[in-house]
Structure 1
Amino acid sequence: MWRDLEPIGRDADTRGYRRYAWTGADADCRAWFKAQADSRGLTYELDRNGNQWAWLGDPLAEGAVITGSHLDSVPDGGAFDGPLGVVSSFAALDELRARGTRFTKPVAITNFGDEEGARFGLACVGSRLASGQLTREAAYELRDGDGVSLPQAMEEAGHDPSTIGPDPERLARIGAFVELHVEQGRALDLSGDRVGIASAIWPHGRWRFDFHGEANHAGTTRLVDRRDPMLTYAETVLAARREAELAGAVATFGKISVEPNAVNAIPSLVRGWLDSRAADQATLDTVVSAIERAAKERAERDGVDLRVVRESFTPVIEFEHALRDEMNKILGGSVPVLGTGAGHDAGILSGAIPTAMLFVRNPTGVSHSPAESAAEDDCVAGVIALADVLEGLACR
């Protein structure tokens, strides 16, 4: 499976992945998923929001046990973030069939669409639509960097965008969703464990900072006469690092857009996107408020107009304790339980259905990068753990 999936959407120069929603690479990933389902005799289904499902058993029966993850990537992302969960799900099903497992509940593997939000700027679009956290009206307003709307992109890829929206009937039939994911951190590497269970996802959000200045000639405009939004942006980046460090949180400006974006021109607009996360809501609010305050103070000094827009937000998510504890019992009771600052479809769906997560050790902690990795024996350990959990949940 890795050999077939490995070349899809991989950039020849960076060696990173560019599997963006509703593009050619995304279509190839979707074709790969369907081929995996067909080769195993599973019932394949594409839901109204473009999420893929591969069913063993009756899709309309109650109490289904679901596993899977996503196949899209961040710009120049790694091979494991998302795909490890999908590949491991098919491998776990193969393992259970080899054991001769008799299921009493339907089991499905899923690929949720546009989890990373790399193209339209909003993470977990597929699961947000299904759970009703993203309305059809709001989804229709999403646009990529070229101005292409989400419905236009879906239509060009052969999916009817008029069908998107909440899917409560489907979610009501799901008894549990277990997502396996490579750990995006080094907790398991430091503890020496191959597999862990998620306790919670930190509250996190994305904020857009628009710094409006005045375009002018870089060679003839005196420094004292400038209204340079790049200065304000630079100070805000430093403030984000400073405030996050003081609070024990994280804050990152990882994306920037500049107008007119010329070497010999003072910018008229600098737009930067802040991603911030913390262990609790109060800390996150403190950090973001401090960053906004620093940006405002510097903007006033620089003669720059500032506008801040919160584009997305996810509160702290505690995975269901009963499901988490049952998984730990299935796995022998000694699996480490750890929190994470990364968002996932399992977190989005947790408000509608019981969800849980398994993490596989990442030896460096690097993620969202071509350097992302996981050892083969750790991946196998993850497959066995997932198979054991699915067997325990779907055969009782």
Structure 2
Amino acid sequence: MWRDLAPIGRDAGSGGYRRYAWTAADADCRAWFKDQAESRGLTYEVDRNGNQWAWLGDPEGTDAVVTGSHLDSVPDGGAFDGPLGVVSSFAALDELRSRGVEFTRPLAIGNFGDEEGARFGLACVGSRLAAGRLTVEQAHALRDGDGVPLPHAMEKAGYDPSTIGPDPERLARIGAFVELHVEQGRALDLSGDPVGIASAIWPHGRWRYDFTGEANHAGTTRLVDRRDPMLTYAQTVLAARREAELAGAVATFGKIVVEPNGVNAIASLVRGWLDSRAADQSTLDTVIAGIEQAAREQGERDGVDVRVTRESFTPVVEFAHALRDELGRILGGDGGGIPVLGTGAGHDAGILSASVPTAMLFVRNPTGVSHSPAEHAGEDDCLAGVTALADVLEGLACR
């Protein structure tokens, strides 16, 4: 499975993946998922929001156990973030069948659409729509960098955008959702464990900063006469690092658009996107307020207008304690023994947690590198993740 999926959407130059929502690469990933489902005799379907499902047992049944993740990527992302969870889900089902287990609850594997938000700027679109955490109006307003609206992109890919929206009936049939994911950090590497259990997801969000100045000639305009938004942006980037460091949080400006974007021109507009995360809401609020205040103060000195727009936000997610404890019992015995760790990365499991009992398994990442072609997990650890997921699914769906 891994070998067949690996070439899809891979850029020959960077070695990273560009599997953006509702593109040709995304279509190839979806075709791969469908083939995996049908080759195993599973019932395949696509829901109203474009999420894919592969069912063992009655799709209309209740108290189902669901696993899976996503197949899309960030720009030039790694091979493991998302796909490891989907591949491992099919492999875990194969393992359970080889054990000859009998399922007492419906089992499903899911591929949630547009988890990374690389194309339309909002993460977890598929799961947000299903859970009612993204309205139809908000979804229709999403546009990619070329101005293409989300509904048009879906329609061009062969899906009917008129059906998108909350899917409470489907979610009500799910008794537990367990997502396996490569760890996006080094906690397991430092502890020496191949697999861990998630405790919580930090609160996090994305903010767009628009710095508006005045376009002018780079060679003839005196420094004192300039209203250069690039200066304000640069100072705001430094302020973000400072505020995050003081608070023990993280803050990153990772995307920027410049107009008119000429080498010999002073910019008229610099638009930057801030991603910030912290262990608790109070800390995150402090960091965000500090960054915005620094930006506005610098803007006044530079003669630059600063506008801040919050584009997305996810509050802290405490995974269902009962389900988390059950995973610990299944994998570590009554005495425990499997590490439990928090994460600053968002996931579909976090979005669905308000509607469905959710849990997560992490597979060790020896370098901690993620959202990069250097992202990696060893084969032995990946196989340990499959075994752990199979054990969990057997404990939940075969009792």
Residue of structure 2 equivalent to 1:239: 239
CA distance in 1, matches of 2:101, 2:365: 30
The one-letter code of the counterpart of 1:379 is C
CA distance in 2, matches of 1:101, 1:229: 63
Residue of structure 1 equivalent to 2:200: 200
Residue of structure 1 equivalent to 2:97: 97
Residue of structure 2 equivalent to 1:61: 61
Deviations 1:22-52 (A, max 9, x none): 0000000000000000110000000000000
Residue of structure 2 equivalent to 1:360: 363
1:395 is displaced (CA, Å) by 1.3
Residue of structure 2 equivalent to 1:349: 352
CA distance in 2, matches of 1:64, 1:13: 43
CA distance in 2, matches of 1:334, 1:82: 26
Residue of structure 1 equivalent to 2:337: 334
Within-5 A mapping of 1:129-148: 129-148=129-148
- Determine helix, strand or coil for the equivalent of 2:86: helix
CA distance in 2, matches of 1:325, 1:335: 11
CA distance in 1, matches of 2:3, 2:360: 25
Residue of structure 2 equivalent to 1:306: 306
1:390 pairs with 365, 390, 393, which one?
393
1:348 is displaced (CA, Å) by 0.2
CA distance in 2, matches of 1:128, 1:382: 26
Residue of structure 1 equivalent to 2:6: 6
CA distance in 2, matches of 1:62, 1:295: 51
CA distance in 2, matches of 1:44, 1:20: 22
CA distance in 1, matches of 2:376, 2:161: 35
CA distance in 2, matches of 1:298, 1:327: 50
CA distance in 1, matches of 2:262, 2:108: 51
CA distance in 1, matches of 2:355, 2:380: 34
The one-letter code of the counterpart of 1:140 is H
Deviations 1:293-347 (A, max 9, x none): 0000000000000100000000000000000000100112211000000000000
Deviations 1:191-211 (A, max 9, x none): 000000000000000000000
> CA RMSD, aligned part only?
0.3
Residue of structure 1 equivalent to 2:70: 70
- Determine helix, strand or coil for the equivalent of 1:263: coil
Within-5 A mapping of 1:173-188: 173-188=173-188
Residue of structure 2 equivalent to 1:292: 292
- Determine helix, strand or coil for the equivalent of 2:159: coil
Residue of structure 2 equivalent to 1:47: 47
CA distance in 1, matches of 2:238, 2:383: 42
CA distance in 2, matches of 1:386, 1:334: 16
- Determine helix, strand or coil for the equivalent of 2:310: strand
CA distance in 2, matches of 1:6, 1:389: 26
Within-5 A mapping of 1:77-88: 77-88=77-88
CA distance in 2, matches of 1:195, 1:245: 29
The normalised TM-score by structure 2 is 0.99
1:229 is displaced (CA, Å) by 0.1
2:156 aligned with 1:156, yes or no?
A: yes
CA distance in 1, matches of 2:337, 2:48: 40
- Determine helix, strand or coil for the equivalent of 1:331: helix
The one-letter code of the counterpart of 1:74 is V
- Determine helix, strand or coil for the equivalent of 2:36: helix
The one-letter code of the counterpart of 2:171 is L
The one-letter code of the counterpart of 2:106 is P
2:254 aligned with 1:254, yes or no?
A: yes
Residue of structure 2 equivalent to 1:319: 319
Moved more, 327-336 or 224-233: 327-336
Residue of structure 2 equivalent to 1:377: 380
CA distance in 2, matches of 1:173, 1:96: 22
The normalised TM-score by structure 1 is 1.00
Give the fraction of aligned pairs with identical amino acids, expressed as a percent.
85
1:182 is displaced (CA, Å) by 0.1
CA distance in 1, matches of 2:72, 2:344: 19
Residue of structure 2 equivalent to 1:120: 120
CA distance in 2, matches of 1:291, 1:278: 14
Q: Which runs of 5+ in 2 are unaligned?
A: none
CA distance in 2, matches of 1:296, 1:133: 31
1:213 is displaced (CA, Å) by 0.1
> What is the total number of aligned residue pairs between the two structures?
396
Q: List 4+ stretches of structure 1 deviating above 6 A.
A: none
The one-letter code of the counterpart of 1:96 is L
The one-letter code of the counterpart of 1:346 is A
Deviations 1:79-109 (A, max 9, x none): 0000000000000000000000100000000
The one-letter code of the counterpart of 2:378 is A
